[in-house]
Structure 1
């Protein structure tokens, strides 16, 4: 069966969007609010009807993720910020593979995500309460898997507890996108052998945003 490169590219853009928001938080102590909201909402839909449904059914919700993917696919040697984004993206893919091989962690993650629903009746998803709860899910479920993504930025910013929570919440959302990427036929070999096709698909989707 032929792979659906639209869905593969969209899910990969979700991973890249997480990488960009982590970078923004680490260097500037803030990130684009709407893409942040979209990514956190993506955690809640564990049985989506489509890839676009995960990102609230609007292509524009992944615009900065598609732009980041385009940047990573065309990265220049020595481009520090681009290399940082690529490192975060690949790290999220590795964590997804570790999660995929750990059924206990998967079950725990599903229980924790389900427990967020009652809280969302009273709190906005970007509230400190919810972001902190998502960050704790990352610490409890993902951190024990054995790979720590080294986030680089301004040390004073990275020491802030609220920034730490936001970074961990965004990383968890990135893993969710990496899970989706694998489910629709994505794989790391595509980044090496199907780069031109991914580039073309990314460019086409950006024109539609």
Structure 2
């Protein structure tokens, strides 16, 4: 994927928002869309792909993220989610730090290879897979500062299975952020491309998901 356009950046950014939304829903005990979860977590293992869409298993599995993109960047039918915005700002900052840490990038690469092997035996959202990806996040991205402080129900976040799912989804959010950067995404670009990103997301939703 050497050349990228607004479509690629839209899909990658939708992937970031979708993973962060799943983090939020998991932490607060809200229902999570299984197909969105599978697409987001599964994207961590897709390193070599012919297209951005293929990283997430197509455009339809990103409908949650594409819808969020419209709300977060313009407002649309709802107001931007402040909590989600805080997660996003921290994530973008951490991605820049991660990009300069070859040791952590090597650790991530090795961990993803192990997870790819593990995925031949378990479904991508199986507890064993989620635990492995959560551990990988804890030993890489989570060692950087500032850490993403996830808000939610304390009793849920103290549960190992829930905490693992949150960390695995944060890793998915980071993977999508790296992809977005590779597609030419920048924080300044978000300001100048905002309208075009929203238009592109709307067109993708209309064509691929009927929304």
Q: TM-score, normalised by structure 1?
A: 0.92
Tell me, in whole angstroms, the C-alpha distance in 2 between the residues paired with 1:83 and 1:12. Answer: 17
- Structure 1 unaligned residues grouped into runs of 5+: none
- Structure 2 unaligned residues grouped into runs of 5+: none
Task: Give the superposition deviation at 1:191.
Answer: 2.1
Is 1:179 the counterpart of 2:191 in the alignment?
Answer: no
| Paired residues, number | 205
Deviations 1:43-85 (A, max 9, x none): 11112111011011x2111000001111111249xx5x71111
Tell me if the contact between 2:74 and 2:194 (Cα under 8 Å) persists in the aligned partners: no
Tell me, in whole angstroms, the C-alpha distance in 2 between the residues paired with 1:119 and 1:112. Answer: 11
Q: Partner residue of 1:41?
A: 42
Q: Partner residue of 1:190?
A: 189
Tell me, in whole angstroms, the C-alpha distance in 2 between the residues paired with 1:87 and 1:146. Answer: 14
Tell me, in whole angstroms, the C-alpha distance in 1 between the residues paired with 2:45 and 2:72. Answer: 27
**Corresponding residue SS for 1:197:** helix
Tell me, in whole angstroms, the C-alpha distance in 1 between the residues paired with 2:204 and 2:91. Answer: 23
Question: What are the within-5 Å matches in structure 2 for residues 6-21 of structure 1?
Answer: 6-21=7-22
**Corresponding residue SS for 2:22:** helix
Question: What are the within-5 Å matches in structure 2 for residues 1-209 of structure 1?
Answer: 4-28=5-29, 30-56=31-57, 58-75=58-75, 82-208=81-207, 209=209
Task: Give the superposition deviation at 1:147.
Answer: 2.1
Tell me if the contact between 1:66 and 1:202 (Cα under 8 Å) persists in the aligned partners: yes
Tell me, in whole angstroms, the C-alpha distance in 1 between the residues paired with 2:49 and 2:120. Answer: 21
RMSD of Structure 2 on Structure 1 (CA): 1.8
Q: Is the alpha carbon distance of 1:60 and 1:27 closer, same or farther for their aligned partners in structure 2, counting shifts above 3 Å?
A: same
Tell me if the contact between 1:6 and 1:201 (Cα under 8 Å) persists in the aligned partners: yes
Tell me, in whole angstroms, the C-alpha distance in 2 between the residues paired with 1:139 and 1:26. Answer: 17
Task: Give the superposition deviation at 1:117.
Answer: 2.3
Deviations 1:119-139 (A, max 9, x none): 222221111111000000000
Greater share of residues in helix: 1
